[in-house]
Amino acid sequence: MLNWDYADFKKFGSKMFPCYHKVQIKTPAANGQKVITATFELDKLSDKADWESFTTPSSKYEQVGVEEILGKLMQL
């Protein structure tokens, strides 16, 4: 199960953006349930354009889909 909570909305340009994110993954209970949690707290949001918005990863990495990542996390 994947649960993603977000809160603490702050103005970013003309819209509101959540600055607090908590992601929690619970594995199936058959192997003994495990919980993985990640919390992100963002501040100093800006839309400065003086950075490269797209980067190319090293060729030693290969692209994987989110389904594969979540599948591996659920097997922990």
Taking residue 7's Cβ as centre, other Cβ atoms within 10 Å add up to 9
Q: What is the pLDDT of residue 18?
A: 96
* CA dihedral for 62, 66, 68, 69, sign (positive or negative): positive
Question: Between 33 and 48, whose confidence is greater?
Answer: 33
**What is the average pLDDT score of the chain?**
87
pLDDT for 30 beyond 70: no
Query: Cβ neighbours of residue 52 under 8 Å, at least 6 residues apart?
Result: none
Q: What is the pLDDT of residue 9?
A: 96
pLDDT for 31 beyond 80: no
Q: What is the mean pLDDT of residues 50-72?
A: 85
Q: What is the mean pLDDT of residues 7-33?
A: 89
Tally the C-alpha atoms within 13 A of residue 30's C-alpha that lie toward its C-beta.
Answer: 3
pLDDT for 33 beyond 70: yes
Q: What is the pLDDT of residue 55?
A: 83
Sheet holding 15-26, edge to edge: 2-12, 15-26, 35-41
